[in-house]
Amino acid sequence: MKFKAFIFGLLASFGLPWLLAIVVPFSTMRSLDPAKYAGIEIDGGEGIYIPKRDGRISEGSDVYGQEGCYYCHTQLVRPTYAGSDVWRADWGGLKKSADNPDTRRETLSTDYDGEKIAHIGVMRVGHDLSNLGRRLETNLKGTQLSPETWMFLHLYNPRGIAPYRKNSQDREERSACPSKPGLFNEVSKNIAGFDALPVAAPEGKAIVPSDRARALVSYLVSLKKDTLEQPVPQDLNYNPIQPVAK
């Protein structure tokens, strides 16, 4: 084998997948055409589909990555050909009930806008988080806890609070999530004020979330990738049951 032929072979066998699996898809994915609604009567929207999210998305997503949350949690609701995520209770959205329509949907390519990288995740030791914010909001309705406070308490001591699900089959089970003490500070009770978490602390002290914890929780609570507040265009809604009617 001549050296030149060898190098040419390497360049060609590597260059083809490099071009076809990296460069071209990257170029396609960065300039996707925005999806358009078909009309108010058909899919409940008008004009261009713009994903709406509240909170410190970019900053919180960075903290999510820095803390390595993606090693145990995913953020991907796969289509039914690739997994049963849509059917699992409140992963893809809410199932139809007296209070809400069926809001489940699959993950869309716009769902990670504003983040540096899509935290697809490595393993599912814990739940998929695509709709964590939606679950918290729905399940904590009518309780003393806001979704943010519940999240802070969970991160501080996952087994110190009751699960948020009221009637779920997971209710009797304890969270398997390790705590994240590094996200909280111990400060004097006098300066903690309303930030103090209702948890045990040494005399005269209080536990308050750090700024990184605030960003992270703001991001987690914003995870509402379903169709409850914002219907998705007909073309993108593969909900196997029926499109959302308003």
β-bridge partners, 36: 48
HSE-up (13 A, CA, CB side) for residue 201: 18
Query: Can you give the three-state secondary structure of 15-63, one letter per residue?
Result: HHHHHHHHHHHHHHHHCCCCCECCCHHHHCCCCECCCCCCCCHHHHHHH
Shorter beta-carbon distance to another protein: residue 46 or 146: 46
Shorter beta-carbon distance to another protein: residue 19 or 245: 19
Q: Compute the least distance from the CB of residue 129 to another protein, in Å.
A: 12
Q: Compute the least distance from the CB of residue 27 to another protein, in Å.
A: 4
CA angle 52, 54, 60 (to 5 degrees): 120
Q: What's the rounded Cα separation, in Å, for the pair 170 and 90? A: 12
Q: Compute the least distance from the CB of residue 58 to another protein, in Å.
A: 11
Shorter beta-carbon distance to another protein: residue 165 or 195: 165
Which one, of 158, 157, 133, lies nearest residue 146 by Cα? 133
Shorter beta-carbon distance to another protein: residue 15 or 198: 15
Q: Compute the least distance from the CB of residue 160 to another protein, in Å.
A: 11
198 Cβ contact list (under 8 Å, min separation 6):
153
Shorter beta-carbon distance to another protein: residue 149 or 185: 185
Q: Compute the least distance from the CB of residue 195 to another protein, in Å.
A: 19
